[in-house]
Structure 1
């Protein structure tokens, strides 16, 4: 008897006919096929929708939502609104994953029940290079405190430059993260729709500020395709004000969160001191 799926993979797609077959072929060959695939077609004008529909029989649980073009954040928000499993993650339509991708998130949440978010490592793949390259050789594994988690996720330069020297196996992306639906529902979290980029980093920092517990395993299982025509590799003037705005929001959330953490720790220490003094009387 097949148990109800615990994980939904949200895949926002827009004009990715050149890459979608590869993405869905890999996703259809998971070690743990008991997950829900939720595709959000954001008004594609090429053959993206037709290709997606052709994979309906390859997945146990398959749903596609076709909507007018509203941008990536809007597509992600629509995806979240339609999730009905305890956990969910994101998958870009031009990337692909190793066979242990879906199993990782379910297992990580089961093995680390105190974690509100879990994260895997990822590969970088290039059009003009053979083979996959891990984003960094740094090994990170285990539960992390808030300060360390913010350090692993934050990237102040956003997409303004190719900053692999600052790479971590975590970063602010959504496609290598697993989330709990209950956290999003209870706190009415959503992606900001008026930013050109870094909206994923803001979402992650907001999520972490409201929760306790982050688990990371830097073993790469997601393949991040480095497209030359991708928005993040093409500079435009809107990136400059959006970069300042996004970094201001991220910094504000982090500072407030760490200050609250500091006050909570000091309060706990004070209670221990007072309890010790009472015992000595």
Structure 2
């Protein structure tokens, strides 16, 4: 049996940490080490994980000063001894057979990375994205070029570091960027560039908990880190995957328009409008290449043209579409399948 190292960065999650750790300890695949990294948590997480370490010898507890999610993951990687590595966020939890399925398929397909489907988990219901695959579909295999395409469009392959089983030697010397939100956007393409075989499992085996107090639930200018990350990734794509640059530009544009409009709503957080001005200058300076990149997306192209005329005008197409959907004149986008929970699990 191959050892799997499970790295769990922990900060201010005492309400959720028991469910997370229990779901890892109860895995049907037992050859695991669980690396719990207390990132200077101000609540009782430190005491809780020390208690768990006395219950199971597979647990390693590390205490460090607060440095953020990326720093905690990087610190945890120093203690990894498994052939495989799995990242789990400390407010999420796993199906009991998740690691077993990941390892089994990694070996069967000789895959460098195996990804599972996941649920968006709320207090009394879960959401499952079945737009591309159903739960019963067989594993989906990707080579390097198709993987990078899927990563860029962020549909079947997400940028999330969690929910994937990595061969440890593929990620050991690629640290997460510290001090940023959306740290996975800065990291994932560097890892995927090394991958020859990538497998997607369609059974949802990971629960991605949606917290109202999550760092991404309340908008701040730190959310602009995603645009910086996408631009950094774009430089990488231009160098190594020139044929995919239009897809990269399209994602930068979408993130730029979304954040510009959020900054309009939160003007008090954009002192002097400097962040909006930076977004405006980027879009206008790259107008021709962005137009080429989105020529197949009618709504996004209209938004771009209107933004170029005046930035405030870009909000018109989304508002019009929303009204038309509410009036049932046009069909809304395909949504996620909702499953109501009848238990507390």
Bigger proportion of residues as helix: 2
Q: Pick one of 182, 193, 209 that aligns with 1:225.
A: 209
> Secondary structure of 2:66's match?
coil
Counterpart Cα distance in 2 of 1:72 and 1:120? 22
Report which stretch shifted further, 219-228 or 231-240. Answer: 231-240
Counterpart Cα distance in 2 of 1:39 and 1:146? 32
Q: Is the 8 A contact 2:144 2:195 kept in 1?
A: no
Q: Is the 8 A contact 2:185 2:230 kept in 1?
A: no
Q: Is the 8 A contact 2:216 2:223 kept in 1?
A: no
Q: Matches of residues 82-121 of structure 1 in structure 2 within 5 Å?
A: 82-113=79-110, 115-121=111-117
> Which structure ranks higher in relative contact order (CA pairs < 8 Å, sequence separation ≥ 6)?
1
Q: Matches of residues 1-281 of structure 1 in structure 2 within 5 Å?
A: 5-113=2-110, 115-127=111-123, 130-139=124-133, 141-154=139-152, 168-185=155-172, 188-197=173-182, 199-240=183-224, 242-259=225-242
Cα–Cα, structure 1 residues 259 and 95, in superposed 2: closer, same or farther, change >3 Å? Answer: same
> Secondary structure of 1:132's match?
strand
Counterpart Cα distance in 2 of 1:125 and 1:77? 26
Instruction: Note the C-alpha offset of 1:70.
Output: 0.5
CA RMSD of aligned residues (A): 2.1
Counterpart Cα distance in 1 of 2:177 and 2:209? 24
Counterpart Cα distance in 1 of 2:96 and 2:131? 21
Paired residues, what number?
240
Deviations 1:32-51 (A, max 9, x none): 12211001110011111111
Counterpart Cα distance in 2 of 1:11 and 1:118? 18
> Secondary structure of 2:216's match?
helix
Counterpart Cα distance in 1 of 2:233 and 2:46? 35
Q: Normalising by structure 2, what TM-score?
A: 0.65
Unaligned runs of 5+ in 1: 156-166, 262-281
Counterpart Cα distance in 2 of 1:194 and 1:24? 26
Q: Normalising by structure 1, what TM-score?
A: 0.79
Unaligned runs of 5+ in 2: 245-345
Counterpart Cα distance in 1 of 2:125 and 2:219? 27
Counterpart Cα distance in 2 of 1:58 and 1:28? 10
- Residue 281 of structure 2 is matched in structure 1 by none
Counterpart Cα distance in 2 of 1:64 and 1:90? 15
Larger radius of gyration: 2
Q: Is the 8 A contact 1:38 1:63 kept in 2?
A: yes
